[in-house]
Structure 1
Amino acid sequence: MEHVILLDESGTAIGLADKQTVHTDSTPLHLAFSCYIFDSAGRFLVSQRALAKKTWPGIWTNSVCGHPAQGEAMTDAVRRRARFELGLDLGEIRLVLPSFRYRAELDGIVENEMCPVFHATVDDDPAPNPDEVESTRWVPWESFIATALTDDAYSPWCRLQIAELTALGATPASWPAGDPAGLPPAASAVESAPA
């Protein structure tokens, strides 16, 4: 059984919930992540959520999203989900938005997450897991922004993240690393633990 880490308003872990049942019309606050993957040419990998997914089916969004397991470092969770959803082994992973948080609702299902955002690089093309991803495409970052900000077919968290990411600079490769001290305590405790 896969779990999500429940959080209090400070971002401290207060328990676990079954991932399959946590997303309802009153989803509790929990820990997640989003990752934006780029290739060596600077193209961005946009993905469409599988049509069979409970939350936001068929919606286009950032490259990969997920939930860390209890005791799992955020970067390890990003690598795990990219491999599982997209068949990709990521290169560099860089924290860029440590304190992103949002709440969104679609068709009676609520997302309610503290969701640090990461930038990652890769050299390969994706091999999507059809249970998770309906489709993917490589696009120039500028055209992705223009489309996503004006099209409701893109996830609300992605659209909110774009506003914060563009404030970091026009070139994703030069986005500065975010301060790990800004991570929710539930995430920063694992990130700072000795290996």
Structure 2
Amino acid sequence: MSGATGTAAGVATGADVELVVLLDDDGTPIGTFDKALVHGFDTPLHLAFSCYGFDADGRMLLTRRSLAKRTWPGVWTNACCGHPQPGEDPADAVARRVRTELGVEPRDIRLVLPDFRYRAVDAGGMVEHEQCPVFFADLPTDLAPDPDEVVSWVWVEPADFLATAERAPYLLSPWSVLQAAEFRAAGLLEALPEGLLDSR
């Protein structure tokens, strides 16, 4: 992967206590749970989201997860992941977490994979189990990431991301690899740069 790179710096300010929305197998909310405690060796299905960010030239932002993350520390992944609060609109959750994690204001947030769901287990046995709608957003390039969330980042061509996911999936988070396959099948990234520029 090639592109402009950076490294997060500064002092983390911590985060407020958050709740995640628990779901049954049909995706119906059935309760809430403390986000700090929900991930373990038998993580219940819960609501989340993934966001992929793009600059004015159509490059895609990939981030490397902080080494302090409970699941998949240090792994390269999409621009931002998070969990909507109970009753929170998912697009509002995307905007909130982009501001918190990346320090910038997202624009043109749009839902592209509404039904994405996955379960994955990392090398230490920690489980992610999420109903995880996927969004695209337009991002500025002057990022100021929270080092508790993002340790480094890179802007890449979407084709490079797709090629990495296909040829070297072990370099990326499992959810981004699965999402890349769906992007490829739907032709989403091929049409993205023109669509983004036309939407402004």
Corresponding residue of 2:65: 49
Matched-pair contact (CA < 8 Å) for 2:57–2:193? no
Tell me, in whole angstroms, the C-alpha distance in 1 between the residues paired with 2:135 and 2:88. 16
> Alpha-carbon deviation of 1:174?
6.1
RMSD across aligned positions (CA): 1.2
Letter in structure 2 aligned against 1:129: D
Aligned match of 1:120: 137
**Size of the alignment, in residue pairs?**
175
**1:34 alignment partner, one of 45, 50, 55:** 50
1:57 alignment partner, SS class: coil
Q: For structure 1, which runs of at least 5 residues remain unmatched after alignment?
A: 176-195
Distance 1:138 1:95 in 2: 21
3-state SS, counterpart of residue 119 of structure 1: strand
Equivalent residue number for residue 183 of structure 2:
165
* Structure 2 spans left out of the alignment, 5+ residues: 1-16, 196-200
Alignment of 1:142 onto 2:159? yes
Structure 2 residue corresponding to 1:101, chosen from 112, 117, 135: 117
TM-score of the two chains, using structure 1 as the length reference = 0.86
TM (norm. structure 2) is: 0.84
Q: In the alignment, residue 21 of structure 2 is paired with which amino acid?
A: I
Identity of aligned residues (%): 55
For 2:194 and 2:20, the matched residues in 1 are separated by: 32
Cross-structure match for 1:83: 99
- Give me the whole-angstrom Cα distance separating, in 1, the residues matched to 2:74 and 2:101: 15
Q: After TM superposition, give the deviation of residue 124 of structure 1 in Å.
A: 3.3
Q: Deviations over 1:34-82 (max 9, x none)?
A: 0110011000000000001111000000110000001110000000010
Q: Find runs of 4+ consecutive structure 1 residues off by over 3 angstroms.
A: none
C-alpha distance 80-152 of structure 1, shift in aligned 2 (>3 A): same
